[in-house]
Amino acid sequence: MNVDAIIFEWIENNMIDFHQRYNPRHETLEKQPFILIIQTKWMRELTMNIIPNSAWAIDYTFKTNQYGLPLYTTMCLNTRMLGMPIFFMLCSTNVDKRHETVALRLTLKVVFEK
């Protein structure tokens, strides 16, 4: 299954908060990287309930998934002090253009706006 088919399926199941296609030639830096923010309904509800006064931990895998892309995971502690994922983000990586930095900034903006 290719990435586009999976993205379409996840959009249909309301699991995608934001999707931006890879466009390395776009004149605006924010429009260049591939970005996919994954957040299920359960994660959204959890986020709404625990975000006030909470700390987040953001970590990533260095391209160890089947797509060869960085996968960022953001966690918060719930009321039982267990780490719970609140969203995932896949993005392209282009060190010269700072794709991961741009993707993280846009991801946090999208998540906070929701």
Are the C-beta atoms of residues 39 and 17 closer than 8 Å to each other? yes
Q: How far apart are CA 21 and CA 103, in angstroms?
A: 12
Instruction: Write out pLDDT tens, residues 93-105.
Output: 887 888 999 999 9
Mean pLDDT value across residues 81-85: 85
What does the domain layout of the chain look like in residue ranges?
A: 3-113
Query: Which of helix, strand or coil describes residue 65?
Result: coil
Q: 51 falls in which pLDDT band (50, 70, 90)?
A: low
Chain centre to alpha carbon of residue 29? 18
Question: Percent of the chain having pLDDT more than 70?
Answer: 95
Which pLDDT belongs to residue 76?
86
